[in-house]
Chains A and B, each alone.
Chain A
Amino acid sequence: MEKLIQILTECCPGIDFANETALIDDGLIESLDIVTIVSELMDAFGVDITVDDLTPENFNSAESMWDMIQRLK
């Protein structure tokens, strides 16, 4: 989880990933960032994230992203 927060902060500096729960809904991260995040995550955790996984629910918080990664592993 710490590794995840670190990756996220590198991609999009200045966002409080630990506590935000509406990253997508509030427009904090946008489509370009999502693609960067997804590719970083795939490299870092060795998972395959597809378009079908690109739902707001999966990306609204660091925690939900963590859950998604666990699910896909």
Chain B
Amino acid sequence: MTAKKWLGLFVAALAVTGVIWAGFNVITDSYGVFGDRFLDFYSYDMTRNPRVAKIAWLDEHHDDYDSYIIGCSGSSSIPTEPLNEAFDANFYNMIMYGADLLDVEQTARYLLDNYEVKNIVVSLYVDNAIEYNVGEDDINSRLHAKVSGKPLLPFYLKYLFLNPSYGIDKLKSYFSDTDMPQVFDVFDVETGAYDKRLRDVEPIQTLEEYVEQPEYAVFANYPTGQYGMTQIDNCVKSLTAIRDMCEEAGVNLVVVNNPCYVDYLRYYSADDLALFAQKIAEVTPFWDFSFSSVSYDPRYWYDKTHFRNSVGDMMAAVMTGDESLYVPEGFGHYVTPETAPDSSDYAQDLRAPEDSYTASVPVILYHHLDENGEGDVTIRTDNFRAQMQAIKDAGYQTVSPEDLYRYVYEGTPLPDNPILITFDDGYSSNYELAYPILRELDMKATIFVIGVSVGKDVYKDTDYAITPHFSWEQANEMIASGLITIQTHTYDFHQWPLYEAEQSTARENVLPLAGESEQSYIAALLPDLQRARQELEQATGKTCFALAYPEGQSTKLSWMVAAKAGLDMTFSTRPAVSTVIKGLPQSLLNMPRISVDDITAEELLATLADAGA
């Protein structure tokens, strides 16, 4: 073959390569710009570049939405659900990493021009006043050309001839994706917000423990800095443009200034902060959440600048006037030019509020009672009576799980020196021996029953005798007294391997079996918890919302499954006093419990005192 012919052939090979290249990028579509028709993996695309992928996704799905939240990453915690209810709308969260107000303006314009819009929530952050029109053209942070108004052809060409490594990465991620959010798919496509299913089930207890964890260590030693608010005028310009656009289109505009961690707020001068608030208020009244008791407690924060979803829930409650949810005092002001804070409001070094939004609650754990104290984890009946008497005499007041739940979600006060008494497994002795004593002393207690064992004195499906368990009738009798709460200890995840047909797959607790896949684990645990809940609610007519993990053990994955099954309160057996925090549902997760066996009443009181109760 002549060289000339070969060159022709080579050019043909180049062309074929180009077609394969483009084809591969259209199929994998790492940024979603071509509609991600083949993999439909938008949570990955949005993670790569939310600005581009969300627009691409909305182009297909904007009929399902009529309202939008626009802003930088903090906006993710502003929940769509309560806003949907209050505004009778369907919100989509357009959060973009590091969005400046020009991004917000351009995005708002695109939404108004192209979609049907009823409400726009613009979420501001102090950062907006320091950076404007960053104009990042990096592939992971550029705006969609449709939004920025740049020429479309070069924009699409860039994605058509993208380094195939991106597509390969997406394929790898696609095939290793699981039910859990991963580092490569952090977005919930349907709402547009971050997928915090895992993050929001991490237990939170005392402040000391919290900042000891590596990911929160930053709060113990918060970096210092100093920023000048040089971009206030540009913010005003963009915000005015958004306001006018909305007015013209008859769209309701809500502006929110996001919460800010106190040490971060100190990066800015009081004069700047006051000027920023004043200038915004002159454009449009807005909700200011930037500074409150939430700013002081790291536990309300995912990291040094991002507040938790539960804080977002409180913001929504303030904005929609929902009074059923706990909201800290002084959280959220509706700011108009007249009511704008002045620099002295920021200048005075507000001390953190009294520790009135947290409570220490010792939770103690019993199993079986016996007149003579025979058997494992068993307490003699008279000793149990002595312990109860001692607790009462020491001034402890027993509470129910519901009391704790109300404290956290609604802010309902707890009695002084609250204590939660719990029993695991649901033995008949709880009904026969403990219940009369509790009734006599008028003390509350909670019993976690194993669904499959209720009313049984033989191991399920066998003739093996076991310690007898009380029945649903007996349970209802106790509930009727108003003292006893029945909650779940799983339906059948507390098995005895020796009595099981297949020992190796016996479930002694909710930990996954050795080598078990995430999928099959969830497929086993979730229905179990749902069944436990359903049967309990049917039998007792009460809500089942609390779970004591068998053997006190659990994993991140089990936390997520429990939350999915609607069990918002869980217990471990870590021996410590529990801390409950208003407005922080995570403080009800994996709560520590002090296991008590046949010790004297004095020893019990000493143990509680040692634990810091």
Asked if chains A and B are in direct contact (CB within 8 A), the reply is no
